[in-house]
Each structure stands twice: as C-alpha cells, then as structure tokens.
Amino acid sequence: MEFNEYQNKAKLTLQKYNADKTANIVIPYLGIIGEAGSVISELKKKLRDGESYVNFENRLKEELGDVLWYLAVIASQNKIDLSEIAEENIKKISDRFSEKDETEFTNYDKNFDNTESLPQEFEIEFISFMDEGRQLVRIINKDTGETIGDPLTDNNYEDDGYRFHDIFHFGYLANLGWSPVLRKLLKRKRKSNPEIDINEDGARAQIIEELISLLIYSESKDNKLLKYSNNIDTGLLKLVKRLVKDLEVKDCTARQWEVTILNSYKVFNILIENNGGRVLVSKKNRMLTYIGKK
C-alpha cells in the first residue's frame, strides 16, 4: 500500500471526541506518545520472556501500526502528505549517514585556472615560538617557503591550543575542497567571476567559516576535543548545515562534514601534543595527514 493511499483511508476512520476543537487536535499527539510507549512495552516483554514470547512479531506490528495511524492523522490535520514526510526523512537520513556520499564532491574550481583554484596537495608546517611570554604559532607553506597568514596565539587566559585552529581551515580545504579563508590567505580567490568572488570568497563567507570553526571547537571542549570520538552530534551538524545554506558548500552532506571535522580534530590534537609539526594537505585524496616534526 502506498503512503498516500494509507493516509486517505486513515482519514476516514478519524473520530470526533466529546471535547472542544483544540482538544480534538491535541488528542492524536497524545495518542502517538501512548502508542510509542506500547511499542516499548512489547520490547520489555521480549527482553523479559525471551523466545517464550512467541507472539512478539505480531504484537509489534500491531503497535507500530497504531503509531503509523496517529502519524497519518497528525499529518492530515496539518495538510501534509505522508509520502512527503517519508521522502524528506530519507533525504535527511541519507545526508547524515550514507557512506557513498563521502566520495561524491562538487568541484568548486571546475571552471577556473590554477591561479584561482585551491591546490590539490601541499605540505605545511606549524612552528611554535615564544613572544613576550606568549605561545604563538606561524604556518609555513613548505612548497613555497612563504608564511601563511599572521602568527596566532590562543587569545585566551589559559593555554588551550586554539593557536593551532587554522588546521580546521586546511581540513575544509582537504576534505571538502572549500575554504574562503584559505582562498584569501593563499591568494586563490576567484576574481575572474565577480559574483563568486564577492559571494563565495568574500568577507561574509570567511566569517561564516570562522564561526563554524569556533562553534565546533566550543562544543568539542566538553568532549575532550573529540580525541576519542568517532561521530559528531547530529544537532551540531544540522547547525553547520544551516550556517552554509546560502554558500556553495551547501552541497556537502552532514556525513562529509562529520568526516571532515573528525579528520581535522585528529590532526589538531596531534599538533597540540607535539607543539607543532608538518601536515600534508591533500585535496586530491580528501585527507589531512600529520607527517611529524622536523
């Protein structure tokens, strides 16, 4: 049976209760909570009785059916197609968990020459030094010998390693093929297309990228800077996706962002532990790799 057919038939069985209009609208919401509890109750019986609970499958189908009925009713009350809900849900879940998405990327430099394209692969070095009692880091492009950006400090009362945070931007470049911040620092802005130069490589996009880096860092401090993590909170990934919804990188899935963040933080933690070192930034292989100290 198709979802829309089920929804139309479910509408014919909708009851009017001895209550005011508002209560009749609210009752299905309360009903779906109750039926969800019944589903859990069936699981409890299965765990308690094991193989002796031979009617588990039939009872589970019945309770799940009741949940589906209430879901269809709530959707109908709000003039939403059940099939639309299913389609949007699969799209969201695939964006978050589909492994095949890790290898499917948009080439944002497709129509630009090398002078306006992010490099395919290069080596950088984070060099720590002291200045007036403060720990600072400078980043050297090992291929050109040039310094990338200004030296960074933690800008904090305590030594928390944030001076190494530019590794996140290199992670976006390597894993996603995107970084307005590094386009500016590497002089790879796409100026031949003024619209893209302003809207994708300009100050607003750079601010959003910095905001994403700070947001993730702030959240990760409660989780040991993701040192032992294999996944990222879904709510945080949703927020990142909302922040980039008007930028070209909106094409990247939540799963791709998760892989990017985990790879970047793996290298970030190693940089902190070693107080610097060399890193291979490989867009062609979609990976950051810590190489070691000098």
How would you write the pLDDT of the chain (294 residues) with one tens digit per residue?
899 999 999 989 887 776 678 888 898 999 999 999 999 999 999 999 999 999 999 999 999 999 999 999 999 999 999 999 999 999 888 888 876 555 678 999 999 999 999 999 999 999 999 998 899 999 999 999 999 999 999 888 888 899 999 999 999 999 999 999 999 999 999 999 999 999 999 999 999 999 999 999 999 998 999 999 999 999 999 999 999 999 999 999 999 999 999 999 999 999 999 999 999 999 999 999 999 987
Backbone angles phi and psi of 137, in degrees to 5:
-135, 135
Residue finishing a domain among 56, 74, 97: 97
- Same domain for 85 and 119, yes or no, is no
Residue finishing a domain among 38, 70, 97: 97
Using alpha carbons, list the distances in angstroms from residue 270 to 226, 273, 277: 12, 5, 9
Using alpha carbons, list the distances in angstroms from residue 10 to 25, 60, 61, 71, 118: 15, 19, 17, 10, 54
- Same domain for 148 and 73, yes or no, is no
- Same domain for 209 and 268, yes or no, is yes
Q: What is the pLDDT of residue 95?
A: 84
Residue finishing a domain among 81, 97, 113: 97
Domain range holding 38?
A: 3-97
- pTM of the predicted model as reported, rounded to 2 decimal places: 0.82
Q: How many domains does the chain have?
A: 2
